């Protein structure tokens, strides 16, 4: 199981939100590039970078920081947030992203989804944000009645190769991941799943590994010191 330290960008800083709420922000660093270097030095093999401002306004706001991170670190970066058009996608790749996470635009525009899955293959990751098993879009601000499993299976038929599943109710809470949901998706979705939201301890990571997820994104637990990245990597590999 791969571990992805999360770097969430807002206003040029490294922050964490509680359950995706922009009025519940904690700033952990004014220097995201140094944060990227820190996680690399502790053994990370990937970074997961989210442009929160981009997700909110519908176009990337921090590609310059992505570019600076790519120049600074030797490990690949998975980047998402606000990428809802093909020219946004190309700019993210030009800035150095190895993978780009797309959510809203894939869900609302199946033709676009099929086209980018075909063109970019493994470099496109489907991001599915879930609240009570239903999908939320546009930076978690719009709730749909679409079932998460149904959506993933539909996107897999269009060419999705990998999915990040975020449980919004647990994101930033340190309350543990939604193991029943993730277990069901691993068994039935037909594509690799990366879990996001709620990880608080090494026990959580070991429980996630048991579900069969391909990877786990860790945010707040790293920044508060609840989890040591180096120790966690030793345990799950």
Of 164, 179, 176, 180, the residue nearest 215 (C-alpha): 164
User: In angstroms, what is the C-alpha Rg of the chain?
Assistant: 16
Active site residues: 8, 129
Mean pLDDT, the chain, whole residue set = 91
Neighbour tally for 34: CB within 10 Å: 12
Q: What is the C-alpha separation between 8 and 15, in angstroms, rounded?
A: 6
Answer yes or no: is pLDDT of 25 > 60. no
CATH assignment at residue 106: 3.20.20.70
What is the reported pLDDT for 64?
Answer: 97
* Percent with pLDDT over 70 in the chain: 91
Least confident of 12-21, 45-54, 170-179, 196-205: 12-21
pLDDT mean over 144-167: 92
How does DSSP classify residue 170? Answer: G
Least confident of 166-170, 181-185, 220-224: 166-170
Question: Which residues constitute the domain of residue 18?
Answer: 2-236
pLDDT mean over 193-221: 96
Q: What is the C-alpha separation between 88 and 80, in angstroms, rounded?
A: 10
Query: Torsions phi, psi of 22, nearest 5?
Result: -70, -15
Listed as own residue / partner, the contacts of 66-71 with beta carbons closer than 8 Å and 24 or more positions apart are: 66/92, 66/95, 66/96, 66/97, 67/95, 67/96, 68/33, 69/7, 69/32, 69/33, 69/36, 69/96, 70/95, 70/96, 70/97, 71/96
Contact 48, 217 (CB under 8 A): yes
What is the reported pLDDT for 229?
Answer: 98
Number of structural domains found in the chain: 1
Burial class (CB in 10 A: 0-12, 13-18, 19+), 174: middle
Q: What is the C-alpha separation between 221 and 60, in angstroms, rounded?
A: 26
Stretch (H or E) spanning 49: strand 47-51
pTM of the predicted structure, to 2 decimals: 0.92
pLDDT tier for residue 148 given thresholds of 50, 70 and 90: very high
pLDDT mean over 55-64: 92
């Amino acid at each position: 199981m791969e571990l992805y330290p999360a770097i969430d960008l807002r206003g040029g800083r490294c922050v964490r939100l509680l359950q995706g709420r922009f009025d519940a922000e904690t700033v952990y660093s004014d220097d995201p590039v140094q944060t990227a270097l820190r996680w690399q030095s502790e053994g990370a093999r990937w970074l997961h970078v989210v442009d929160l401002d981009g997700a909110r306004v519908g176009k990337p706001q921090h590609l310059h920081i992505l570019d600076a991170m790519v120049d600074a670190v030797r490990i690949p970066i998975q980047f998402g947030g606000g990428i809802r058009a093909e020219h946004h996608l190309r700019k993210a790749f030009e800035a150095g992203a190895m993978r780009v996470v797309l959510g809203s635009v894939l869900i609302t525009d199946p033709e676009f989804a099929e086209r980018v899955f075909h063109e970019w293959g493994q470099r496109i990751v489907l991001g599915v944000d879930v609240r009570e098993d239903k999908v939320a879009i546009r930076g978690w601000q719009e709730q749909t009645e679409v079932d998460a499993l149904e959506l993933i299976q539909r996107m897999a038929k269009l060419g999705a190769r990998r999915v990040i599943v975020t449980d919004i109710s647990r994101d930033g809470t340190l309350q543990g991941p939604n193991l029943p949901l993730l277990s069901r998706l691993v068994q039935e979705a037909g594509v690799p799943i990366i879990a996001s939201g709620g990880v608080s301890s090494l026990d959580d990571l070991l429980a996630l590994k048991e579900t069969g997820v391909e990877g786990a994104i860790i945010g707040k637990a790293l920044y508060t010191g609840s989890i040591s990245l180096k120790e966690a990597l030793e345990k799950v590999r």
